[in-house]
Every structure is written in structure tokens, then in C-alpha cells.
Amino acid sequence: MKNPTLNSALVIAEIGTSHGGSLEKAEKLIDAAVDAGADAVKFQWVYADEILHPDTGFVDLPGGKVRLYDRFKALETDESFFRHCLDYARSKNAKFICSPFGLKSLEKLLKICPDYIKIASPELNHFPLLKATAKNRGDIPVIVSTGVSRLEDIEEALGILGTDKVTLLHCITCYPAPEEEYNLRLVKTLSQKFSVDCGISDHSLDPVLVPCLAVSQGAKIIEKHITLSRETDGLDDPVALTPEQFALMCHTVHQSQAVLRHYGSQKGEAEIIRQMEETAGKQRVERILGTGIKTLAPSEKENYGRTNRSLHFLQDMKAGQIITENSVAVLRTEKILTPGISPRFLEAVQGKTLVRDVKAGEGVLFEDFENFEQAIKNN
């Protein structure tokens, strides 16, 4: 199997759920990714109940408006599906990477021993998942995406996972993500601050700009979605690269890596930037490179607290009822529901008595319990 070396990056083809539950299509996507030059393929192990509440809202797809929960429910597959995909990917000399979204999918993923575990951006604050990953991953490396996050969110996640065999991916959680918001100098900032390798998870539509400029900043991983067609109904297909575009990306990324090997890191960085300026313009390239200061991208700001995790009620409850482990869950808020308090308070709310009636799906709030916020602050 290929391994990234000095001035080299692991190229990941994010298949996600684009297979639609079809093994035949999954194999075609793996074939397309490998033929295009990917070093690894990445899947998502979906159980709808681990991700969101049924009443979270709707999503517009080529076939029409669909309840988002139902879309995730339709993407559920069994362990044999992922085991087959893992074996097939390795038969093609590609690494197999997969994202779990909760404790159930993590447990099943660990059974098949992936080459990497990927923590997606919305799960950066899924503290039960992070703790279980840290405890049970053994020697399996972990890749952590950092979209729609603040610096303190990354710091808290790494405080749980540790930094051994952990790679960060700078990311913008927006579909598609504007190239000029990517602030790619963050690759160096995050790597230096946390003493880990850093790469990029790119949701922009251009197959060249962000990946190549990320290589100039020392990215050790380049991840981008792949699809057989942008016209199909996969959740991420509209922002994914076709096989031809993915091959172009791999080619230009490898060229950029060759520049770094030839010139060395400093001169190589300047040369890659110069080449990108010839096609995209100096001002645009400078905006894409950004300041290197970690902030929420403009396109992410309104989603902070919605695409990442918070506590939500699982059923209607009345004032006076006591919270049990089956009353609340760590979920994404997504479309129409109200965000709740941080998942760090999951254990603290157990046994608490409600002071008001609540509806299923609502975010759990401090004011749902008497003197709860003050008690937390005092502790």
C-alpha cells in the first residue's frame, strides 16, 4: 500500500454515502477513485438515529424534497457491506477509511479494522464518541476534520483523543465551500500549535486551487468527494468531483509535491503559489491562502451549533419528569430544530427534573432545570 512520505500527501477519495447502499456502485466508485490516483477511499457508517432526530427537517435533492432523517435511514447498511468494501479497496491497493457517527457504528467499524478512523467535522464535539474512540482504537490512526469549529473546540477534542497517530484536516463545512474562504495558511497554524500533521478536507468545486495551495502549506492529506455523476441523488454528489476531475486533481497535487521535493519547502511553496497565481490571479490566491488565524469562515457562522452536536430530547416530556439515559441524545440540530447545550453536559443532566414541558427533538437548555446552569458554574 502507498504511504505518504516527505513532501507527499495521502489523497483520499470521499465516497461517503454516494454508493446509495449498492455494492456494485460502491465497487465502481472505488475503481474510479483508484484509477484517478487516490491512495485511499472513505466511507460513512450511517445509522440515522445516531445522527439526528426524525423531525429535523427536509433536504432538497434532484428527486425532490425528502425528510433528511428518512434519507439517512435509507442509507443504512450492515457490517458485511463495509467489510466487502474494505476488502475490495485493499485488493486495489487502496486504504480503507470510514467515519462512525456514534457508539454503535464505532463499535462495528472497529470490528473490521479500518486503516484509519475519520471523525467528521460535526462530530468534533461528540464527546462520548471521542472518548470511546480514544479508549478502543488501539493502533488505528485517527483523522479529525475541523470544519465549523473554533480553536478551543479543536483543543478540547485533542484533549480527549490525544495527538499520537492523529491528523487534523482543516475544513469549511459549507456545500459548496467558497475557495476564497479557505484560509489555507491554517494548515501550518494548526500543525504547529498542536504538534500534529495537518491536511485539508476540501468542499470547494475547483479541482485544483485549494488542493495544490494546501500542498504548498505542507498538507499531509488531501480529501475531496468523488461521484460517478453530479446528477445523481447522493447527498454530497452536487459538490463532488467526477472521476475525470478527480484525476486532474491528483495529477496537479502530484506535480505540486514534485515541486516541493525539487526546490525544498520554502522555495517550493513560493513556486507553487507563483504557478497558481498565473491561472487564478495574485489577489485571489492570496485570499485563498488567508491569514492563518483560526476563525469561523463567513459561510459557516450561521451553522455553528447546528451542524455540530448538542443535546436533544428524544420524546415529549412533562414538567416534573426525571431525565434518564433514554430521554436525551447527542445529535446534530440541522434544519429546523433548536440547538441544545453542549454534549459535555450529557451525564450532568441525567437524574435532573424538568421544570417545563418539552417537545421531542427540542434542544436541551439550562433553563429546563432549576438552578442547573448555576450549579454547573459552581462546579
| Mean pLDDT of the region 131-144 | 98
| Fold of the domain built from segment(s) 10-289 | TIM Barrel (3.20.20)
| Mean pLDDT of the region 102-118 | 98
| Mean pLDDT of the region 240-256 | 97
pLDDT in the model for residue 234:
78
pLDDT in the model for residue 3:
41
The letter for the amino acid at 174 is C
On whether the 306-378 domain is CATH 3.90.1210.10, my answer is: yes
The pLDDT tens digits of the residues spanning 52-95 come to 999 999 988 777 788 999 999 999 999 999 999 999 999 999 99
pLDDT in the model for residue 6:
45
Count Cα atoms within 13 angstroms, Cβ side, for 269: 13
Q: Would you kindly state where each structural domain of the chain is located, as residue ranges? A: 10-289, 306-378
Query: What's the whole-model pTM score?
Result: 0.95
Q: Is 271 exposed, middle or buried (0-12, 13-18, 19+ CB in 10 A)?
A: middle
Task: Please give the share of the chain, as a percent, with pLDDT higher than 70.
Answer: 97
The pLDDT tens digits of the residues spanning 184-228 come to 999 999 999 999 999 999 999 999 999 999 999 999 999 999 999
Q: Report CA-CA distances (Å) from 315 to 289, 346, 362.
A: 46, 16, 9
- Fold match between domain 10-289 and domain 306-378: no
Task: Please give the share of the chain, as a percent, with pLDDT higher than 90.
Answer: 90
Q: Is 253 exposed, middle or buried (0-12, 13-18, 19+ CB in 10 A)?
A: buried
Measured torsion, CA atoms of residues 340, 344, 347, 349, in degrees rounded to the nearest 10: -30
| Mean pLDDT of the region 160-185 | 97
- 360: β partners: none
Cα(97)–Cα(120) distance, rounded to whole angstroms?
12
Q: Is 186 exposed, middle or buried (0-12, 13-18, 19+ CB in 10 A)?
A: buried
Torsion sign (Cα): 363, 53, 154, 202: negative
Closest CA to 194 of 253, 151, 149, 142: 151
The full DSSP string for 258-285 is HHHHHH-HHHHHHHHHHHHHHHH-HHHH
Say which residue the cell 492570496 belongs to.
286
Question: Cα 50 to the chain's mean position, in Å?
Answer: 15
pLDDT in the model for residue 65:
86
- The DSSP 8-state label assigned to residue 178 in this structure reads P
pLDDT band at 4 (very low <50, low <70, confident <90, very high): very low
Cα(134)–Cα(158) distance, rounded to whole angstroms?
10
Cα(285)–Cα(276) distance, rounded to whole angstroms?
7
pLDDT in the model for residue 2:
38
pLDDT in the model for residue 379:
67
Long-range contacts of 64-69 (CB under 8 A, 24+ apart): 68/334, 68/335
pLDDT in the model for residue 288:
98
